[in-house]
Structure 1
Amino acid sequence: MANQDIMRELFITGLVNAHAVEKQALSIMTPQVERIENYPEVADRLRLHIEETNGQIARLDEILAGFDTSSSALKDLGLSMTGGMAALTHSVAGDEIIKNSFANYAFEHFEIAAYKSLLVMAEDGGFANATPLLKQSLGEEEAMAQWIDEALPMVTRRYATLYAEGGSGVAKV
């Protein structure tokens, strides 16, 4: 197998994996945003990032179509189910908003790493047409991670205040 064929295979595998990860992100964020009541800023930013994530999926589909391939439906389903389970697990905890903030922060950094890796493969494999699309998705992930980082003090303080007021509304994320 020629080096170019190997790079193509690795790049496509990375794209399919990133597609599955974005589907997983949707399965994590969607139930979260539906439950949020006491943190409208978080709900608004999650809604925006859900829109961005749908755009990221479309961009990955566009790149994959250029290789006459598509995402793996089975991989997408498996990862979206695990994402849904993670969101469900946090929903029974009184500190759901805090745990979701930690998990979302970590997940954003996982996605950032995935896009950075894809950009290296695009450069090394000569797939320059994918670079602008991948950079756009990377920028959105970096912006979301930064927003979570900057919002964490507010979320933590609001949670502590609600808890101190007798827990009213704490379970209502």
Structure 2
Amino acid sequence: MTNPQDHLLDWLRDAHAMEQQAITMLSALARRIENYPELRAKIEDHLAETKRQASQIESCIERLGGNTSVIKDLAATFIAMGQGLSGLFVEDEIIKGTMASYTFEHMEIAAYRVLIAAADAVGDLETSTVCARILAEEEAMAGWLAENIPVVTAKYLSREATGGVEAKR
């Protein structure tokens, strides 16, 4: 039977892989956004946050005597690369990318809530504090996306309706 500390460590590894996936996904999205400068700036800001989050999670893992899972990190990176490439083939890439980002933020929110509960259960205040700080950043990004999805959608539809204007990115 696995003990709670082992679960926490495994879930931290999952979170690290999730952040690696986010880095790949956000990097690809930011590189391709051309006509939505506010969205691009926010994605780039969150990319910097995400890199810091991955480092913080890695520190928690190491403090608990573990190491990151190369297999999980690579798998997550390859999945994100596939997601990034899939956008090249859709007419409404900016909409699909925004929806994927919003969905991914909510998966991260759920993961960090689990990590906080697990860290609290084993008395790991430092990990709980780190995860709570990251959770607040993920909730802020999800909130920003929720507020701006209508704006991005309206801009896309307007650009699409105007002949000769690039709307996809």
- Shorter-normalised TM-score: what interval? over 0.9
Question: Which position in structure 2 is the counterpart of 1:34?
Answer: 31
Q: Letter of the aligned partner of 1:6 in structure 2? A: N
Structure 1 distance, partners of 2:151, 2:18, is 28
The structure 2 residue matched to 1:89, chosen from 86, 89, 92, is 86
Question: Which position in structure 1 is the counterpart of 2:50?
Answer: 53
Structure 2 distance, partners of 1:119, 1:91, is 37
Structure 2 distance, partners of 1:63, 1:167, is 50
Which aligned pairs between 1:1-173 and structure 2 lie closer than 5 A?
6-166=3-163, 168-171=165-168, 173=169
- Per-residue deviation at 1:167? 5.3
Q: Letter of the aligned partner of 2:82 in structure 1? A: M
How many residues get paired? 169
Q: Letter of the aligned partner of 2:86 in structure 1? A: T
Summarize the Cα distance change of 1:167–1:123 in structure 2 as closer, same or farther, 3 Å threshold: farther
- Per-residue deviation at 1:168? 2.1
Structure 1 unmatched ranges of 5 or more: none
The alignment's C-alpha RMSD in Å is: 1.1
Structure 2 distance, partners of 1:34, 1:104, is 15
Cα shift readout 1:63-85 (whole Å, capped 9, x = no counterpart): 11111211101110111110110
TM-score (norm 1): 0.94
SS in 1 for 2:55: helix
SS in 2 for 1:169: coil
User: Which stretch of structure 1 is more off in the superposition, 45-54 or 89-98?
Assistant: 89-98
Q: Letter of the aligned partner of 2:69 in structure 1? A: S
> Which 4+ residue blocks in structure 1 deviate beyond 4 angstroms?
none
TM-score (norm 2): 0.97
Q: Letter of the aligned partner of 2:99 in structure 1? A: F
Structure 2 distance, partners of 1:163, 1:146, is 26
- Per-residue deviation at 1:47? 0.5
